[in-house]
Structure formats: C-alpha cells, structure tokens
Structure 1
C-alpha cells in the first residue's frame, strides 16, 4: 500500500493506490482535515487512519489533469513541517576519520518541498549545484511531541556543493536549494537497497547520465543511532510537527565533473522501486 494526498477541485482528498500509469485516480474526500491531523486518533498509524477514511467515504473517480498532488502528510500550515537531513552518510563518501554521528542540516519548512514537475529554486549566487537522490523518512510528533516514524518516500536534496567545497562551514547555506519529494508515503521500514539512474536534460536532450545506489545498506551509520541522537533534542519535539528527514546520497553529477545550469531538467529514476522524480532547475534573479 502507498498513501497520498492531493487537492481535487479545491478540496483535499486521500488515495491508497500506486500513482504510476495514467488511469483515473480513486480518491476519498478528507472533509477539510489533512491526514496528519487524524493520526492521534489512530495511535499515530497512517495506515489505520487512511483505511478508516476509505471505509467511511466512498471513492470518487478523478481525472489526473484535475489533481494536484501534495507532499506526504503535509500539514495545513507549512510552518508545522520541518525539512532537514544528514550529510556524508554513504559508505562511498566516508573515510575512517569520521565522527560517530553525521552532520545534520535544515533545508526549510513544508512550503520548501517541490513535487515532480515543479521547478527547484537555486540561489542566484550558487557556486555549483548537484542533485542528490535520497530516501526521505517522515516523522510526526505524537501528543507529547516525540517524533514518531510513519513511513518513507524518495527525494532530491539539491545542494550547492560548490559552496560547501569552498568553505565547509557554509554547509547551512549550501543546503538552501529547494528539495524535491515524491508524493507517495510508503508505510513500513525504509528500503535496504535502492538503485536507479540520473539523467540531466539540457535544451531537451540528455547531457549527463549516471547510476546511483542508496538505501540502508549504503549507509556508513546505523539508522536507529542516527535518528535517536537527532530526536534526543527536545527542541525538535512538538505535537503534530511533521519532519521530512533526507538520509544522504551517493555521488552524483558534480563528482563526475558535470556542472548543472539554469533550465536543466534533473530526472531521477528510482528504478528498483518504480518511482521517478523530474524537476527543472531555476536560478533566482541576482
């Protein structure tokens, strides 16, 4: 099962079927309440909450052209969601002289997330940006504020890696490019192994291609230790706060010597899981 939310004819709806293909979608009205608001009534379980909605509200058939997908479990107010992630987590990027906890960073609030097809904003003074195909974990603060895991999805943590290479202390600035996210929430444990391909299109033609590998087996660090250390900080505890946590990436186009440019389209094909993310890049005016 996958879970997604969308706007259909101005109202929020729930879907429980894969988003691949082009057939009409079967949607259940949410009656104005985001799914995340219903989790406390179901012990924080998105599957239980979604199944109850589906059982109470008959589906409507929706033309995909009228549907606007939303990030998984997006709350009504963007300030009630925090987008963050870990850096230098993968075995291919880590040497023996590493700390016991990877560096953590913040990318923005819920309104920084971009769905497939939407432009990813890049700061005007970016030095050199790079796509980062990643697994994204989704947590929601329980009634006491403790972040509880709800599921996972995929994302692109677009990063000004050139700025970070110039000055490692500027990681916080390097990470303020827009992140992309897939709309479907996958309940259950994060995937152990993910493989896929990146294609950068320039002027409508492929300009660079590369393979990537991610998932828990690719991590240098143990995920339970990573997340336990992060969420030990009570400043991140807030009832209902949605956390989108990006887990880091394999090497990408920058490491191969390619430089992304304004107007390029970055397509990530998570082929092992049948999910694709494609977004144009848009440099902000200087």
Structure 2
C-alpha cells in the first residue's frame, strides 16, 4: 500500500511518500496544495500521483519528530476549508438482520462533525465540553475526496480517525441532541493510503489513566463490517449540491462499532486513548481534555 502525507516545514508545504521513522531523515517534496490537488484530479492511480508530486520538485530531508515539522490532515487546504462529516449506525452488528441486496437503499443518519481545520493530529489533545455526560471513542475509516473545478468529487484515498463523541448526552435525546454530542474534537492520522476503501480493518483500543491501562478492547471496521455498501453511502451523500462545491475537500467517516462505553467503562478527563490499527501498522493516540464552562451565563 502506497502512503502519502502532507506537512508544513519552515512556512512551506511538503509531501512525503511512505510512513517516516522517528529520528530518521525522510525526503520531503515541496508541493503547493494546488499541484497536489491536480495530481489526484488527473487520476491514473497511486503511481501516477506519486510521480506527479515528486517529479521536478525541491526537496529537503527532515525527521518526522523535528520540532519545526507539522504533520497535517490529508489534503487539507491552506485555508482549512474542508468538511468533516460522517454516518451513524452503519455497522452490521447494530442490526438484527443481514442486509438484503435487493432492498432499496435507505440512508443511515448523517452528521456534520466540523471543518477540516478542527481536526487534530496524533498526540494533540482532544477537547470535550466540561458538561460532557459520557464520552465514547470511535475508531473509523475516513475516506478523503477532493472536488474538481466543476464540483465533481474525486476519491483520493483513506485514513483513520477517532470520532470522539458524547454518547451519554446523545442517549438522553437520540432524535434531537446528537449534533451536540458530536461537538467533540476528532483526531485523524496524517497518512493517506492511496488505495480503494479497505474491506477489513482490525486493531486494538487502549485507554490509559495516570499512565496505566484502564481499559482494552479489540475493534474492526472497513466495508465488510458495514451494513450498507460504501458506494451507496457516497452516491447518496454526494448527490447533494452543497457538498459538490468546487475544490472542496471532504473527509467522510464510515462509522464505528461498539467500544468502551458499551463495556461499562467511562472515559475521564486526562485519559489517553490509543487506537492501534494493527492491520495497517498505524497508531492514533490522544489525551482527552475537558475544557470550557459548564454554563456561559
């Protein structure tokens, strides 16, 4: 699997190919967002994209843990104007029957999580409201799309995210308060896998409290775990004109299965959530930070 990532270094945008190793210099290619976007719009697959962003570019060798290097969400524009969105109730385990291929598609609930600039990278704290009732981590596949000048979305690849949410508040009023429950920050890995959406993703969640493991659990996601077909989800979402704005980058979260909350565990302020996507040799780890006031007035 080919992996591409974007980053900022000393005021300039760069692209790297392959996942870097901490402490080891990694070659970065100076690529403005427009050139990177054009490479994906041109198509041709992973090899063509890599060639387009590495040919004839200025390079610099920098270690990923260099303090002047900042990893960025995949394809995030300099303006941060991207859409973070997703689906709810997508997994087979949440239904009491198997999907019927002949049945007419009925879309699951959908949500807007926020702007691309709201995304947090690995090891950055994830903010949740001080009024939070009960948090739930959600390891998810995130599909990345970039729109062309006519607004047509082009699939670029996938990455992984933790769609943190206040499930306790959601359950108090499932039909009305879900948007509030989603007003928690979401973390995402910077690694963009230049491949079709994954069928199978497996891994393990560890929640640490005061340096010790307080809860562990396995997870699975990917298209094989979904009740809905990925193509149906995307075709329905991108049938709406407002998400077909020229040049828009959209991160689509495909949903998650049950996790720590359903096992009786309650996430606390200061807990560290580590999602080890073992099938893809990728780790996403963040500390929870309760913030804000319980009341404004």
- Normalising by the smaller structure, the TM-score range is over 0.9
Structure 1 pair 46–140 and aligned structure 2 pair: CA distance change class (3 A): farther
Structure 1 pair 35–257 and aligned structure 2 pair: CA distance change class (3 A): farther
1:69 to partner: Cα distance: 0.4
Task: Find the residue that maps to 2:20 and give its secondary structure.
Answer: coil
Which residue pairs with 2:102 in the alignment? none
RMSD: 2.0
1:270 maps onto 2:277 in alignment: yes
Unaligned runs of 5+ in 1: none
Equivalent pair of 1:39/1:45 in contact (CA under 8 Å):
no
So what's the TM-score if we normalise by structure 1? 0.93
Equivalent pair of 1:194/1:214 in contact (CA under 8 Å):
yes
Structure 1 pair 36–160 and aligned structure 2 pair: CA distance change class (3 A): farther
Which residue pairs with 1:252 in the alignment? 259
Match of 1:227 among 221, 234, 237: 234
Which residue pairs with 1:165 in the alignment? 171
1:234 to partner: Cα distance: 0.9
Mapped partners of 1:108, 1:57: distance in 2: 33
Equivalent pair of 1:34/1:74 in contact (CA under 8 Å):
no
1:12 to partner: Cα distance: 1.0
1:24 maps onto 2:25 in alignment: yes
1:76 to partner: Cα distance: 1.1
Equivalent pair of 1:160/1:177 in contact (CA under 8 Å):
yes
So what's the TM-score if we normalise by structure 2? 0.90
Deviations 1:108-163 (A, max 9, x none): 00111000000111022111111000000001112211222111001100011111
Tell me the number of residue pairs that the alignment of Structure 1 and Structure 2 aligns.
Answer: 284
Which residue pairs with 2:126 in the alignment? 120
Which residue pairs with 1:11 in the alignment? 12
1:20 to partner: Cα distance: 4.5
The 5-angstrom pairing of residues 149-164 of structure 1 reads 149-164=155-170
Task: Find the residue that maps to 1:226 and give its secondary structure.
Answer: helix
